[in-house]
């Protein structure tokens, strides 16, 4: 059996998201990076040159002045990725979009359009929206609770997939002699009536070369993990220690099998921010420098508030016990907030100590000379912690260091491809093309056309 290959995706930081508070000050980073399409095109082309699987773009729809720099001023993902699609040929294009604050027909059409524009390289990262303040941007008094958001997300994906199957693959004979453009028997209404949506269909767009966009999800809570096991084909995992990553990986694969799905048809990506330098010591020094560049207490305090509905913790005495704000987390970042509250209570921490603890210096395993970083990636991969890594680099130069230094070593060890073997995202990930629900053909894996 050939050795399994590692999947690599690229997550651009722009001027800096959560935890990269000082990145915008780096002279190598343009202060308009998050709104400059040429920045993303360069990142995408570098990733494609290195044979990466995909480019991943995050999103949210609520801000206040304390939010990370990248969040304050950035491009909408599907618009961004549609532009990038015209400057790349193979790279997968994964965009984040909320199932809480979109309608299935509209979003299904937009992702199907990206899938056609890119020739079958689109992926949708399904989120239920972390920021509770988003509700006010859509005319709602409050954010939906966890159970409702995840129930809606499951139904949303089911509706989108139904709409993507509106046309059978041979629905358009375009026979001039017979004056037949469409075979109407191969166009299907959805007529969905569910708990959250009523959608008639059909969608006015055919299937792409990969059949349907690839569904990604980031499940941490019980509801999130169950949603991922039911519908996801790619997962952005929380990471943590090697043991934590192993446990999460095994849990998701087990849940996937319990839902009657092939665990190989769900690819788990952990976050990785490698720091590569000529020597291990130089890389560790750079890792520490990065921590100091981002070590801004006020920003850490504001970031803490995001887990509690963008709550302003600065109104409290920093040296008093951590305030009772559990009720603010139920409709926001419940899982992360619960861990914060539990630690604060168990260790009797003040608000200052909680904010500082979330910003403690934590050494990454993927730091060192190219050989060292490749060794750690191989070790974690063989230990069953991931199928792929969602890579993030502070600067374009640091991406180049990884591509030029680490990727060739992974290729030499037969851990990473030396050429694209497919031109769709499903093909890169080894995922089958979904059979159209209105036909009985078994769909093949995506391959080069």
Condensed to tens digits (0 to 9), the pLDDT of residues 10-51 reads: 999 999 999 899 999 999 999 999 999 999 999 999 999 999
Task: Give tens-digit pLDDT for 366-390.
Answer: 999 999 999 999 999 999 999 999 9
Contact 213, 114 (CB under 8 A): yes
Cα–Cα distance measured from residue 375 to residue 399, given in angstroms and rounded to the nearest whole number: 18
Task: Give tens-digit pLDDT for 400-412.
Answer: 999 999 999 999 9
Say yes or no: 335 and 264 in one domain: no
Binning pLDDT at 50, 70 and 90, where does residue 143 land?
Answer: confident
Binning pLDDT at 50, 70 and 90, where does residue 332 land?
Answer: low
Exposure string for 202-235, b = 16+ CB within 10 A, e = fewer: bbebbbbbbbbbbbbbbbbbebbbbbbbbbbbbb
Domain assignment of residue 156, yes or no: yes
pLDDT of residue 358: 81
Domain assignment of residue 437, yes or no: no
Cα–Cα distance measured from residue 58 to residue 162, given in angstroms and rounded to the nearest whole number: 25
Say yes or no: 237 and 319 in one domain: no
Binning pLDDT at 50, 70 and 90, where does residue 176 land?
Answer: very high
Say yes or no: 130 and 265 in one domain: yes
Say yes or no: 256 and 142 in one domain: yes
Domain assignment of residue 78, yes or no: yes
Say yes or no: 78 and 179 in one domain: yes
Binning pLDDT at 50, 70 and 90, where does residue 442 land?
Answer: very low
Quote the percentage of the chain above a pLDDT of 70.
97
Say yes or no: 26 and 11 in one domain: yes
Total domains in the fold of the chain: 2
Say yes or no: 17 and 52 in one domain: yes
Domain assignment of residue 240, yes or no: yes
Selection from 433, 435, 438 nearest residue 188 by Cα: 438
Say yes or no: 97 and 191 in one domain: yes
Whether 336 has a pLDDT exceeding 60, the answer reads yes
CATH number of the domain to which 412 belongs: 3.20.20.30
Cα–Cα distance measured from residue 406 to residue 206, given in angstroms and rounded to the nearest whole number: 40
Say yes or no: 267 and 368 in one domain: yes
Query: CA of 200: how far to CAs of 109, 164, 251, in Å?
Result: 14, 13, 36
Kindly compute the dihedral angle of the four CA atoms of residues 298, 303, 304, 310, in this order, to the nearest 10 degrees. Answer: 110
pLDDT of residue 88: 98
pLDDT of residue 307: 82
Selection from 344, 120, 117, 366 nearest residue 239 by Cα: 366
Domain assignment of residue 368, yes or no: yes
Domain assignment of residue 398, yes or no: yes
Domain assignment of residue 320, yes or no: yes
SS3 percent helix, strand, coil of the chain, rounded to 5, is 40, 15, 45
The pairing of strands 234-237 and 198-199 is: unpaired
Binning pLDDT at 50, 70 and 90, where does residue 440 land?
Answer: low
Residue carrying structure tokens 């539990």: 342
Say yes or no: 417 and 370 in one domain: yes
Whether 443 has a pLDDT exceeding 90, the answer reads no
Kindly compute the dihedral angle of the four CA atoms of residues 297, 303, 305, 309, in this order, to the nearest 10 degrees. Answer: 170
Whether 223 has a pLDDT exceeding 90, the answer reads no
Domain assignment of residue 447, yes or no: no
Last residue of a domain, one of 341, 357, 373: 357
Cα–Cα distance measured from residue 105 to residue 192, given in angstroms and rounded to the nearest whole number: 11
Any alpha helices (H) in 232-319, and if so which ranges?
242-258, 280-294, 297-306
Average pLDDT in the chain: 93
Two structure tokens written together for 107: 């979003």
- What is the mean predicted confidence (pLDDT) over 326-332? 73
Whether 269 has a pLDDT exceeding 60, the answer reads yes
- Domain of residue 325, residue span: 296-357
Whether 357 has a pLDDT exceeding 90, the answer reads no
């Amino acid at each position: 059996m050939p050795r399994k290959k590692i999947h690599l995706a690229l997550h651009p930081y722009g001027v800096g998201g959560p935890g990269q508070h000082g990145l915008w000050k780096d002279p190598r980073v343009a202060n308009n990076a998050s709104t400059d399409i040429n920045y993303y095109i360069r990142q995408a082309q570098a990733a494609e040159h290195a044979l990466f699987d995909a480019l991943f773009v995050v999103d949210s729809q609520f801000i206040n002045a304390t939010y990370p720099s990248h969040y304050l001023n950035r491009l909408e993902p599907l618009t961004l990725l549609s532009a990038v699609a015209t400057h790349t040929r193979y790279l997968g294009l994964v965009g984040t979009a909320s199932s809480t604050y979109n309608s299935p027909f509209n979003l299904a059409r937009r992702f199907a359009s990206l899938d056609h524009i890119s020739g079958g390289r689109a992926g949708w990262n399904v989120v239920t929206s972390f920021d509770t303040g988003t509700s006010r941007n859509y005319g709602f008094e409050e954010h939906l609770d966890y159970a409702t958001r995840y129930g809606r997300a499951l139904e949303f994906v089911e509706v989108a997939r139904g709409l993507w199957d509106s046309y059978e693959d041979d629905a358009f004979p375009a026979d001039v002699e017979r004056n037949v453009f469409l075979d109407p028997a191969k166009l299907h209404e959805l007529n969905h009536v569910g708990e959250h949506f009523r959608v008639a269909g059909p969608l006015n767009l055919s299937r792409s070369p990969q059949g349907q966009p690839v569904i990604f999800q980031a499940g941490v809570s019980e509801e999130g993990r169950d949603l991922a096991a039911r519908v996801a084909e790619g997962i952005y995992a929380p990471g943590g220690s090697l043991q934590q990553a192993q446990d999460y990986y095994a849990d998701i694969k087990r849940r996937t099998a319990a839902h009657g799905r092939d665990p190989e048809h769900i690819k788990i990506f952990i976050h990785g921010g490698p720091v590569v330098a000529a020597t291990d010591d130089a890389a560790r020094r750079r890792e520490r420098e990065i921590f100091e560049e981002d070590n801004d207490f006020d920003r850490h305090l504001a970031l803490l508030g995001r887990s509690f509905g963008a709550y302003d913790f600065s109104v409290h005495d920093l040296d008093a016990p951590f305030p009772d704000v559990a009720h603010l987390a139920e409709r926001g970042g419940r899982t992360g907030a619960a861990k914060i509250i539990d630690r604060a209570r168990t260790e009797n921490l003040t608000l200052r100590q909680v904010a500082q603890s979330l910003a403690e210096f934590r050494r990454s395993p993927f730091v060192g000379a190219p050989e060292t970083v490749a060794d750690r990636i191989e070790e974690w991969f063989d230990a069953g912690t991931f199928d792929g890594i969602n890579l993030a680099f502070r600067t374009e130069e640091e991406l180049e260091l990884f591509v030029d230094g680490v990727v060739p070593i992974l290729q030499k060890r037969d851990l990473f491809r030396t050429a694209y073997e497919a031109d769709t995202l499903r093909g890169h990930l080894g995922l089958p093309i979904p059979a159209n629900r209105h036909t009985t053909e078994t769909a093949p894996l995506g391959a080069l056309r």
